[in-house]
Chain A
Amino acid sequence: MVEVRLENLRKYFDKGRVKAVEEINLTIRDGEFLVLLGPSGCGKTTTLRMISGLEIPTAGKIWFGEREVTYLPPKDRNISMVFQSYAVWPHMKVYDNIAFPLRIKKYPEDEIRRRVRWAAELLQIEGLLDRYPAQLSGGQRQRVAVARAIVVEPDVLLMDEPLSNLDAKLRVMMRAEIKKLQTQLKVTTVYVTHDQVEAMTMGDRIAVMKQGKVLQVGPPVEVYSKPNSIFVATFIGAPEMNIVDVTVKETDKGVVLEGEGFEVPLPEDLGELLRNYINKTVVFGIRPEHMTIEGISEFLHVKRKARIEGVVDFVEALGTDTIIHAKVGSKIIKVKVPGHIPVELKKEIGIIIDLDNIHVFDKSTEKAII
């Protein structure tokens, strides 16, 4: 168990033409479950591979505790990895697959047997030890890969989208199991995914990446409620945050966000933050779940509200929730209300906005102001 520190880490491919990772500074605490989250091609897998030693950084350093491992081959780092394709060796039985790392490290045979049993029991694959991987289902193979990764008690456990090849139901189950396992083993874990639900449910902290850079690092709730940029705000949350261009206006009611066909008056403290943006265009963001429809549900717990008007354009009935697409001006604003709510199309509705959960971003830098 160690702390992992990435210092100014860069990785360029193809003689610098492809910048996979640019300037990553990140500390993964001892025993922490850190999720690298980002769209495909953002450099998250490359970062993971540099931590594993399968890729050597173009510049920067990697520290495991007080030990610099930047140029160390993978075998000398005491790490484990779960690969996206599981990478379970097809010519070895499940038992031999799990025992392999122990055999390489020359554990005595009875110790190997004991540890393989322990890992197999933990992942409920005791019955499969005599089979070849080709005789297993995807989910079982995945369990073998995880068992193999934890059997050596690694300092750092790396996972590269381990659940992306599983079906939805199994994914939800394995999500919880891996998280529980990690909490139990207290092993420093770096988990790569593009699935924001996985990131939210599993991570102690999430690092959101885009184009080789880490945009924001923080606990899931913080990244969700205080995104520091438009990218983070829209990447996390489903359906994604509504984003509308508005102009900041000073009126006798105080500071107002004026958009096409609507107006959101701001409380004094929020208005104060936008002092420098009077008469400028900014980006207004509000999550679908931080709004409701007038007359359908009341935001009783919400102290500060604003009301805008729109016309129902489309309704997505998910059963557990209803997502109402309301046309406000020429833009579509999505509002998520819990439960199954029948709403007539083309009906004029009032939308209530929770002002404590609004976001305002700078138009040019895309950074958060509120």
Chain B
Amino acid sequence: MNDRTKFMLKQIAFYTFIFTVVAWIVVPLVVVTLYAFSSKLDYYDPNRIVPLHYTKQWVYTLLFTLGALDAIKNSIIVAVLTIIISFALGIPAGYAMAKFIFPAKDTIKLSIVALRMFPIPVMAIPLVVLYIRLNLIDTLLGVALAHTAMALPFVVLITSSIFAGVSTELEEAAMVFGLTRLGAFLKITLPLALPGLAAAAMFTFVMSWNEVFVASVLTLQHRTLPAQILSIMAGASGGAAPDYYKFAAAFIMILPAMLFIFFARRYLITMWGITLR
């Protein structure tokens, strides 16, 4: 085998790998989208893979009759609240982790992550009891708080690595030229950390958007989208839902998350004439 063939084979292997990875992500999205709008007959026709007749009925029914639209609103509120609360708590912690040396720093860092070892179901009953006492049961704030508890460790770790990447000298320069430490943080470090923070926000949003267990346990009337869909699919309205509803539900779940990432993404790529991580 000469060098040229070797090179070609390597190229083929490389592109095969890329293709597989992309297909792994794209194929389910395509399938979900196709079947979400497939007519009933086309869906159940065993000789047909790609449906030919389309209908918006399933998505419409889910959204308007079965309460998915309200659930989407709830989900967005919960996700945004989660981002706000977990950032308000996590950014100072992440900053401290990145810039200061203090006793038991490593232990604290480890215990933050270790919190995630506890399976959520173990905490479900105590959480419900606590929430009933605090009047937080079946509220969006309650769900957001629970999601914050789940997202916070990651927000702390991600933001700490983002802040560690912003040179301390930049902040010190701002302090020398007339700002307080807080001022320097707000004017210098925060804008420079924006791309990283956008990534952390995306992560938090998707985590909250997808979380089904806590949301199902803690809410009844004010369900988030996954919880609402779970109850629809599991047959809260009498009997399990037909398959095309499941695809329509999946489509409804994927779309807003995709849109959010699409818009947050621009903050990740190019700013101030430099390409940032």
List, sorted by A's number, 12 A–B pairs whose CB atoms are closer than 8 Å.
A52-B176, A53-B175, A75-B175, A75-B176, A80-B176, A81-B172, A83-B172, A87-B167, A91-B191, A104-B178, A134-B273, A152-B177
CB distance from B115 to the nearest CB of A (A): 30
Q: Which residues of B contact A53 (CB under 8 A)?
A: 175-176
Asked if B212 is at the interface of the complex by the 8 Å CB criterion, the answer is no
Give the total of B residues in contact with A, Cβ under 8 Å: 19
Asked if A135 is at the interface of the complex by the 8 Å CB criterion, the answer is yes
Give bound CA distance, A132 to B274, whole Å.
9
The one of A90, A134, A135, A148 that contacts B177, using a Cβ cutoff of 8 Å: A148
Q: Which residues of B contact A90 (CB under 8 A)?
A: 170, 192, 272, 274
The one of B170, B188, B273 that contacts A132, using a Cβ cutoff of 8 Å: B273
Asked if B89 is at the interface of the complex by the 8 Å CB criterion, the answer is no
Give bound CA distance, A81 to B170, whole Å.
11
How many cross-chain pairs have Cβ atoms below 8 Å apart between A and B? 67
A residues sitting closer than 8 Å to B (CB atoms) are 52-54, 73-75, 79-81, 83-85, 87, 89-91, 100-101, 104-105, 131-132, 134-135, 148, 152, 158
Contact A54 B176, beta carbon cutoff 8 Å: yes
Q: Which residues of B contact A152 (CB under 8 A)?
A: 177
Asked if B66 is at the interface of the complex by the 8 Å CB criterion, the answer is no
Query: Which residues of B from 149 to 187 have beta carbons under 8 Å from A?
Result: 167, 169-170, 172-180
Q: Which residues of A contact B175 (CB under 8 A)?
A: 53-54, 73-75
Q: Which residues of A contact B272 (CB under 8 A)?
A: 90-91, 132, 134
B residues sitting closer than 8 Å to A (CB atoms) are 167, 169-170, 172-180, 188, 191-192, 271-274
Q: Which residues of A contact B273 (CB under 8 A)?
A: 131-132, 134-135
Contact B178 A75, beta carbon cutoff 8 Å: yes
Give bound CA distance, A54 to B176, whole Å.
8
Instruction: Output the nearest chain A residue to B194 by Cβ-Cβ distance.
Output: A91
Give bound CA distance, A73 to B177, whole Å.
11
Extra A-B contacts (18), CB below 8 Å, given A81-B176, A91-B271: A52-B176, A53-B175, A53-B176, A54-B175, A73-B175, A73-B180, A74-B176, A75-B175, A75-B176, A75-B178, A79-B176, A87-B173, A89-B188, A100-B174, A101-B178, A131-B273, A132-B273, A148-B177
Give bound CA distance, A100 to B273, whole Å.
20
Contact A75 B179, beta carbon cutoff 8 Å: yes
